Homo-oligomer: A and B are copies of this chain.
């Protein structure tokens, strides 16, 4: 058993012991919306947006990007589980602004170990072997945070599987203040 697993299971036992009437929650989100945001460890969407268990779908990936898989999830959310509004939340100081496809592909070609970053940029100190598999991946990095939000709102809004009149709103979460700012 790992230390991480041990702590997760301890916390989970405490949570389950106080589970109460959450056992009766229904599958469709009670508040009828979905949030797409970044996997970043500093973000807790339930806390920063005030969500209780049962309220809303939460979709997260690196960057909070409107990837094909995020759109798969959003379409399931609306078409099968009744959500009628989407919120896309990117954030300041996002890791996705620190690299490019070329950088990630180069790092993965060197090794699979964790790379380091300093004022000179990313550096791979791993022992190898690496892989060329990353060459096939669009890593969905961005350089302009507000534009990345606008791009992703547009991508969701113009998906042929999303109704034209379904509201899709875009935000930036500020990691220094905890505040949401509406972009579009």
Is A120 on the interface with B (CB-CB < 8 A)? no
The docked-state distance in angstroms from the alpha carbon of A27 to that of B140 is 18
Contact between chains at B178 and A16 (CB < 8 Å): yes
- Complexed CA–CA distance, A13 and B87 (Å): 17
Count contacts on A: residues with CB < 8 A to the other chain.
Answer: 97
Q: Are A72 and B15 closer than 8 Å at their CB atoms?
A: no
How many whole Å from A44's CB to the nearest CB in chain B? 5
Contacts of A184 in B (CB 8 A): none
Q: How many copies does the complex hold?
A: 2
Mask: chain A, 17-59; 1 = CB below 8 Å from B; 0 = not: 0010011010111111110000111111011111101111111
A56 to B5, CA, bound (A): 13
Chain B contacts of A104 at CB under 8 A?
76, 79-80
Q: Are A31 and B54 in contact (CB under 8 A)?
A: no
**Chain A residues in the interface with B (C-beta under 8 A):** 2, 4-5, 7-16, 19, 22-23, 25, 27-34, 39-44, 46-51, 53-62, 67-70, 72-73, 75-82, 84-85, 87, 93, 95-96, 98-99, 104, 107-108, 112-115, 117, 122, 131, 133-134, 137, 139-140, 159-163, 167, 169, 175-180
